[in-house]
Structure 1
Amino acid sequence: MASGIDTYHVPTRRETIKGGGVVIGGGLLAGCSGDGPAWNASETDTASATPPATRTDAETPYDVTINPAGTHTFESVPETYATIPGAWMDMAMALGIQPKAVAAFDRLPLKYYDALPGVEFDADAVQTLGESAESQYDKEVFYEVDADVHLMDPRLLKKYSGWDDADLREIESNVAPLLGSMIRFPFGGRDPYYTLYEAFEKVAEIFQRREQYEAWVALKESFYADVQSRVPTGDDAPTVAAFNFGFDSENGTFYAANIDAPRNDARSFRLLGVDNAFEGDSYVPFRPIGVEALLDADPDYIGVIGHLSYVDDDEFRELLRTAQDHETLGELRAVRKGNVVRTGGQYMGPIVDLFSAEALAKQLYPDEFGEWPGSIVDVPEDERLFDRQRVADVVTGTV
């Protein structure tokens, strides 16, 4: 099946597949073929040719389409994957499959998996593709890792690595397909192709884990319904000014996030029904605002996207103290009252999503949901908003 303008055939790789990687929930060895990267392709989302729920033979070749990467035909179910850590790794982890390789371990939020009983991330079994998440990757490392699929947006890999389209085609031809899509926020001015659970369904198609995916949908819908039924709405909802890339009071540069936009990293704020302090403004990633604009907005809360994942609790408390001591930022109501909150952000797959929503609910509405203790591991068992054991059972396939 072809997809995109630049069409070519990727032959089936390997007569045998080398073992490697740790699969929590099990899986089958894989070979794969594909037709054409769609990095320059049509941007219309295309469903899988055969819905996973109707397949009875996992060894039957099946197609998976993920924009902008294109369509790939899997001859058997992949077992291992490499990823640039983010939402796509968390999606696979939610199905019980840890990566064979990640770009790097810097800022990788393994604490979410440690907080689930019986769910482990064996870091010793995971290789790295580079020195940091934004490394200039060496193609030879991809050959060495020899994953069955690469869960990463080819545009992102191209941006970080400095490769051209020929390099990407080489890796697809000789190693494994590149299947992923940036959902964190707009990439190159384009809104994400998928919501979190639309992308998660694609991962379930790749690994043929339909039953686990449907269990996740039921779990999150129950959780969302409970939380949303208990939050204030309308004029009672607090205003939040949310920011990407931290809240650095030292240089006075702040990157406002439009939390109403269809972006994955701000989903916790939308779930909790807050009022966007920058409503009507077209703030996008990498466009800074000044202190004066922030003072004009003077929100009830400052939201720092991602700091729940990769900033430890002591560092976050220091961030608040620094802002309170700042000559100008200290004038903000949110800063004076200590109303600076944080969410899961860029790593937000299904698992991180639950922890992020719980943390934000407690930070915003402690009278309703219980006090936020400052760490996901310190939430008292009787004040948790979702059952850790139930989540662990879904992750490990005990559904």
Structure 2
Amino acid sequence: MDKCPATTRRNVLTTAAAAAVGGMAGCTTYGGTTDGDTDGTYSATIEPVGTVEFEEVPETWFPYTGDYADMGVALGQADGLAAIGIRQRFGSHHYDELPGVSVDKSELTQLWQDGTDQEVFYQIEADVHLIDPNFMINRLQWSQSDVDEIESGVGPFFGNTIFSGSYPWHDYQRYTLYEAFEKVAEVFQEQERYEAFAQLHDEFLSTIQPRLPDETPSVAVLFPKSVPPEAFYPYVINEGTQSKHWNDLNVERALAESEVADFHASRGTIDYETLLEVDPDVIAIRQQGRVTEEQFHEDFVSHMRNHDTASELRAVQNDRVIYGGMTYQGPIINLFQTERAAQDLYPDEFGGETLFDRERVADIVNGNL
């Protein structure tokens, strides 16, 4: 299949598509030059896209999910962020604690409008899309030709669906959060910021993990179908980056040891009766957006204490219903979510303690390395 148009609006080109996208392989070229002058170009490679060569650092960009948005912000690229899949699912409120770091989500185009069509990509005209093209095909019902059209008419895709480890169509290389983050740093030529974050992250874990107890609790991560909840979407703790903070805190994976299927694979729900069969030590309720302690207690903890079946759960009886964080976490959001999870899981050890330096994170984002 020929995917090599002569020109596009952007000076971005791919020299080798090393892997198939949606089962098809080929060579895709992006760029505004056809004279063979590629002095100063650089490349970045990620599965399933392959190798993308850039003639200049992208100025405008957008992801679909908040994990890649957070990566770009961490690399000092907030000014170029133009859109997001669903605004509420991007945890930019965490930046309020970082001096000089902010994103106004109201200014971002929301890609999801009862679906996501190609027109919005043309309207934004971003230099690069930090999106796994297979996500567009398998989750948003795009065709391969839709992907090809945007690649040739607007700009390249560059991403890998890292947040879930349960999608059956993701049969190619999976990346950890920091492996994907390093790839994005290559796109923006911000390797020094990446290295600074990687060092901070390693130091952060080295202050927490030696203090974890030998026996850690079993945790079930759930997203409520309604508020107050009578059923939940189950999220099995696995290798997806949505589970990184739980894995780093060495918890037992309650749902993984049961017959409950991950929501990303089944799209199903479980009720309190099923949850009682699992009966985890801790119930971590996932929410999107900013959630206050008072709101969380009213919407979930109080309701479950007064519920005929939920009140029989060990986690409810032992006051171990905790906030489970957001689905999409990049390097900044992950620091906040790991800190809060550590405080909630092990209050005697970490309760109320600040576990990472906000000023240092802000310095890296702002280029003060």
| Category of TM-score, reference length = shorter chain | 0.7 to 0.9
Distance (whole Å) between structure 1 residues aligned to residue 341 and residue 302 of structure 2: 20
Amino acid across the alignment from 1:120: S
Out of 8, 11, 14, the residue aligned to residue 13 of structure 1 is: 8
Residues 1-399 of structure 1 aligned to structure 2 (within 5 Å):
8-14=3-9, 31-34=11-14, 35-36=16-17, 38-41=20-23, 60-98=40-78, 99-123=81-105, 125-131=107-113, 135-159=114-138, 161-185=140-164, 186-188=166-168, 190=170, 193-233=174-214, 236-243=215-222, 245-246=223-224, 252-259=230-237, 261-281=238-258, 283-285=261-263, 286-305=267-286, 307=287, 309-317=289-297, 318-371=299-352, 383-399=353-369
Unpaired segments ≥5 residues, structure 1: 1-5, 18-30, 44-57, 372-382
Distance (whole Å) between structure 1 residues aligned to residue 124 and residue 225 of structure 2: 37
Amino acid across the alignment from 2:83: A
Distance (whole Å) between structure 1 residues aligned to residue 197 and residue 229 of structure 2: 42
Q: Over residues 284-322 of structure 1, what are the superposed CA-to-partner deviations in whole Å (9 max), with x where a residue is unaligned? A: 2234445344223322210123x2745444432121111
Distance (whole Å) between structure 1 residues aligned to residue 145 and residue 315 of structure 2: 50
Cα displacement (A) at 1:252: 4.1
Q: Over residues 84-120 of structure 1, what are the superposed CA-to-partner deviations in whole Å (9 max), with x where a residue is unaligned? A: 1321111111111121222342343221111111112
Q: Tell me the TM-score normalised to structure 1 length.
A: 0.79
Amino acid across the alignment from 1:238: P
Please tell me whether the aligned partners of residues 249 and 322 of structure 1 are also in contact (alpha carbons under 8 angstroms). no
Cα displacement (A) at 1:348: 0.6
Distance (whole Å) between structure 1 residues aligned to residue 116 and residue 224 of structure 2: 26
Cα displacement (A) at 1:10: 4.5
Unpaired segments ≥5 residues, structure 2: 26-37
Amino acid across the alignment from 1:265: Q
Distance (whole Å) between structure 1 residues aligned to residue 111 and residue 274 of structure 2: 40
Q: Over residues 231-276 of structure 1, what are the superposed CA-to-partner deviations in whole Å (9 max), with x where a residue is unaligned? A: 112xx21221222x337586743333332x2111111111111122
Distance 1:128 1:257, change over 3 A: closer
Distance 1:8 1:178, change over 3 A: same
Cα displacement (A) at 1:168: 1.1
Distance (whole Å) between structure 2 residues aligned to residue 280 and residue 230 of structure 1: 26
Please tell me whether the aligned partners of residues 344 and 356 of structure 1 are also in contact (alpha carbons under 8 angstroms). yes
Superposition CA RMSD, Å:
2.6
Q: Secondary structure in 2 aligned to 1:82?
A: strand
Q: Tell me the TM-score normalised to structure 2 length.
A: 0.85
Determine the structure 2 residue equivalent to 1:377.
none
Distance (whole Å) between structure 2 residues aligned to residue 332 and residue 78 of structure 1: 51
Distance 1:189 1:167, change over 3 A: closer
